[in-house]
Amino acid sequence: MPNGRSGGFVLDTADLRLTIEACPQAEVVAHVVSGPTQLKPATAFELVSLVDQCERPQIAVEEQDGDSYIIHITNEPILWVVVGPTSSLLAPLREHHSRWRAQHPDWNGWIAF
């Protein structure tokens, strides 16, 4: 798992859902963290179901070491999605992150939900 937060942004839950739906649905695109040590591979299809459970209009996304992201579906209880450097979901998340930085140049990168 990545070990160094290097940035982050906020993404509308609806946009995250559309981003995940654009990936091949049977492809493993991430790993789900649902507890302190539980890490489970997840397909795009499975991730859409997790995002649908989110009750917030926006989701925090943290960049890790410049090469992966952690999507915070919920923090209590922990339900995070780790998108690694080989995932087909990584490039679209980078695009969202670039747009966020352009729209929020003074933002300090701290996410509090």
How do the pLDDT tens digits run along the chain, 113 residues long? 444 567 789 999 999 999 999 999 999 999 999 877 778 999 999 999 999 988 899 999 999 988 999 999 988 888 899 999 999 999 999 999 999 989 988 776 555 54
Residue 108 belongs to a domain: no
Domain that holds residue 49: 5-93
Count: domains in the chain: 1
The number of angstroms, rounded, from the C-alpha of 52 to the middle of its chain's C-alpha atoms is 14
Tell me, yes or no, whether 41 lies in a domain.
Answer: yes
Specify if 109 maps to a domain. Answer: no
Q: Is residue 68 part of a domain?
A: yes
Asked if residue 15 is part of any domain, the answer here is yes
Would you say residue 32 lies in a domain?
yes
Cα-atom radius of gyration of the chain, to the nearest Å? 13
The widest CA-to-CA distance across the chain, in whole angstroms, is 38
Whether 79 is covered by a domain: the verdict is yes
- Within-domain flag for 104: no
Measured between alpha carbons, how far is 6 from 59 in angstroms, rounded to an integer?
A: 17
Q: Which amino acid is at 1?
A: M
Q: pTM (2 decimals)? A: 0.87
